[in-house]
């Protein structure tokens, strides 16, 4: 890669830090508006279709049928025994970015073009007014500076472009999306749905809304994307573009305008703040291959490096004006981080419907939106949880025999009982003690201070978990399941991959870092729109809200640039 030397060659209208779900959206919005944009990605390039080495491959075409050797697993301690050949090439090897954990924490990263948009679960639920009002209602965290009506047109804008499957469910707790035909539910899911909605007035079992294409519109064909083929191999990268990723959608769209420059292998060190101008002027980058420090300049900077890296970049962006990190006059930068509680699971088995079997595969499943503490506080814990449901009727074979009988059983398995797995997504409450900061002495191989994680579960999380177990067990019982099993994985915080906060939005400069447009209060030409901007976590999968916030902020930034306010 040729490193540009003249300042003019390194000057753009906008710099976007990160190429994942939100970075891709910032790039797309800027490029569409004619803004000359530089996208910085710390990892390697991954080109759509070309760089998906395991896409659509059956197990027998993978070494060890998809298993990973013990030696290779040892290089990926954070995925450990769960490492699989299908997507281990999209995982981060140990040593690339060491961290300090004062308490157990699992931080999953994707350092390549597209980031975790190649690996995400693709669930796309809108927030409701109840979610944005949550902190103001119960007094925990600070009030959101926006409400649903502020984000509603941007949900529309994003959904039309990415494609979302589902139904129009007419629920106040989960506003309707712009949808394509939903994935069909399995027979046992339809049974469970009818029984729960018959016996409960506050529970709604709906088809999962997901960022897939079942009826591609012209906007999706223009992206070069095609209908989901139900392969259920999504986290390898999809050559059809059947699910949304930055690689299949926003980044190539931005590239086609001629207004985007993508620079991989670019580790962002910090944001440059000009004391005289009173604003940010650029970004310091360390070339991952040469370790050379390079500076890039722009009128506007969008920080989309993923939650904890965005926190770290701001904390490392010190100056005489901001000795504790860019925009950190309030002292809350890095604090009040939160995540989702996905520790709980309840599995149930049904003895009936022996004559039914669902054909094919679906990446969907069913979903129960939050039903606790919605219209009033009705439990001894704050906020609530949603329920994701998957089902199957698997083949079984008795292996407790030997010889020809064992051979016969393996070659001719029989269908077992129907099974439903209910997974919890609980809202954790941001507290000041849960924080990240930079280590005063330890650095990574680029000389950047290591991130210190000091995060733990709270009593509220455990109360939610217990209630989830009790309520899901009750629902399974009422739906005629003869047996069920409740488990707690005991996984450390962060395991759900839905980390949020630390650079939260708010109404006051004294208690937040960002305003209602995702601008840093004291440095208006720096915007932060990834998960770090979140004031609270909700119970929905968060990526759709991240994308809507990004599109809204990017379009606002363009208008402010036209007005010469940035």
Q: State pLDDT tens for residues 91-105.
A: 888 888 999 999 999
How large is the average pLDDT for residues 117-132?
96
Round the CA-based radius of gyration of the chain to a whole number and report it.
24
**Assigned token pair, 28:** 């797309």
**Angle, helix 129-138 to helix 148-162, in steps of 10 degrees:** 140
Q: What is the DSSP letter of 215?
A: S
Half-sphere exposure of 254 (CA within 13 A, CB side): 27
Give Cα separations from 484 to 336, 349, 392, 481 (angstroms).
36, 6, 15, 7
**pLDDT tens across 273-302, in order?**
999 999 999 999 999 999 999 999 999 999
How large is the average pLDDT for residues 366-380?
95
**pLDDT tens across 145-173, in order?**
999 999 999 999 999 999 999 999 999 99
Q: Are 46 and 331 in contact (CB under 8 A)?
A: no
Higher pLDDT, 137 or 449: 449
How large is the average pLDDT for residues 215-236?
95
- 250, β-bridge pairs: none
pLDDT of residue 72: 83
Q: Which of 427, 423, 417 is nearest to 367 (CA)?
A: 423
Distance CA 57, CA 66 (A): 10
Say if residue 1's pLDDT is above 80.
Answer: no
Q: Which residues of 301-314 are buried (b: 16+ CB within 10 A; e: fewer)?
A: bbbbbbbbbbbbbb
Distance CA 427, CA 386 (A): 9
Superfamily of domain 11-46+112-562: FAD/NAD(P)-binding domain (3.50.50.60)
Q: Are 103 and 489 in contact (CB under 8 A)?
A: no
Distance CA 251, CA 248 (A): 7
Question: 126: how many CB neighbours lie within 10 A of its CB?
Answer: 23
* Per-domain residue ranges of the chain: 11-46+112-562
Say if residue 540's pLDDT is above 80.
Answer: yes
Q: Are 416 and 394 in contact (CB under 8 A)?
A: yes
Q: Give the confidence band of 4 by pLDDT, cuts at 50, 70, 90.
A: low
In the chain the first and final C-alpha atoms are separated, in Å, by 31
Place of tokens 């469910």: 169
Mean pLDDT of the chain: 95
pLDDT of residue 553: 98
Say if residue 260's pLDDT is above 60.
Answer: yes
Say if residue 552's pLDDT is above 90.
Answer: yes
**pLDDT tens across 320-338, in order?**
999 999 999 999 999 999 9
pLDDT of residue 2: 47
Q: Give the confidence band of 482 by pLDDT, cuts at 50, 70, 90.
A: confident
């Amino acid at each position: 890669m040729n490193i540009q030397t003249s300042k003019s060659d390194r000057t753009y209208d906008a710099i976007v830090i990160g190429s994942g779900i939100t970075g891709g959206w910032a790039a797309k919005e800027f490029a569409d508006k004619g803004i000359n944009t530089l996208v910085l990605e710390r990892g390697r390039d991954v080109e759509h279709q070309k760089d998906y080495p395991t896409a659509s491959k059956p197990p027998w075409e993978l070494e060890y049928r998809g298993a990973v050797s013990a030696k290779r697993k040892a290089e990926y301690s954070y995925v450990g025994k769960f490492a699989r050949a299908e997507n281990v090439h999209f995982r981060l090897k140990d040593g690339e970015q060491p961290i300090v954990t004062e308490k157990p924490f699992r931080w999953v990263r994707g350092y390549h073009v597209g980031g975790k948009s190649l690996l995400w679960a693709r669930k796309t639920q809108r927030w409701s007014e109840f979610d944005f009002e949550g902190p103001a209602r119960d007094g925990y965290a600070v009030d959101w500076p926006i409400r649903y009506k502020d984000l509603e047109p941007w949900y529309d804008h994003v959904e039309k472009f990415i494609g979302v499957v589902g139904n129009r469910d007419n629920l106040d707790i989960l506003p309707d999306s712009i949808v394509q035909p939903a994935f069909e539910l399995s027979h046992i899911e339809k049974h469970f749905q009818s029984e729960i909605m018959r016996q409960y007035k506050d529970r709604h079992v709906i088809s999962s809304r997901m960022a897939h294409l079942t009826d591609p519109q012209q906007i999706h064909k223009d992206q070069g994307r095609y209908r989901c083929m139900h392969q259920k191999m999504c986290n390898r990268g999809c050559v059809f573009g059947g699910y949304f990723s930055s690689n299949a959608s926003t980044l190539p769209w931005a590239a086609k305008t001629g207004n985007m420059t993508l620079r991989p292998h670019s580790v962002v060190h910090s944001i440059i703040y000009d004391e005289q101008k009173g604003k940010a002027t650029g970004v310091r980058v360390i070339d991952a291959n040469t370790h050379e420090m390079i500076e890039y300049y722009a009128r506007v900077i969008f920080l989309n490096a993923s939650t904890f890296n965005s926190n770290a970049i701001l904390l490392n962006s010190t100056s005489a004006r901001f000795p504790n990190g860019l925009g950190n006059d309030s002292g809350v930068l890095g604090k009040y981080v939160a995540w989702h509680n996905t520790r709980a699971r309840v599995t149930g088995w049904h003895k009936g419907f022996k004559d039914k079997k669902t054909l094919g595969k679906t990446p969907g499943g069913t979903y129960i939106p939050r039903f606790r503490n919605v219209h009033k506080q009705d439990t001894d814990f704050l906020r609530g949880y949603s329920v994701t449901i998957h089902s199957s009727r698997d083949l079984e074979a008795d292996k407790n025999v030997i010889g020809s009988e064992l051979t016969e059983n393996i070659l001719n398995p029989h269908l077992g009982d129907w099974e439903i797995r209910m997974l919890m997504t609980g809202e954790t409450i941001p507290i000041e003690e849960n924080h990240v900061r930079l280590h005063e002495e330890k650095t990574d191989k680029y000389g950047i201070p290591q991130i210190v994680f000091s995060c733990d579960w709270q009593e509220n999380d455990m109360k939610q978990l217990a209630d989830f177990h009790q309520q899901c067990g009750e629902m399974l019982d009422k739906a005629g399941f003869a047996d069920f099993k409740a488990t707690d994985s005991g996984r450390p915080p962060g395991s759900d991959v839905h980390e949020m906060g630390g650079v939260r939005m708010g109404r006051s400069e004294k208690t937040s870092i960002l305003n209602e447009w995702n601008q840093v209060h004291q440095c208006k030409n720096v915007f932060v729109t990834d998960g770090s901007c979140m004031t609270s976590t909700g119970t929905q999968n968060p990526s759709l809200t991240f994308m809507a916030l990004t599109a809204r902020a990017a379009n606002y930034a363009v208008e402010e640039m036209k007005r010469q306010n940035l």
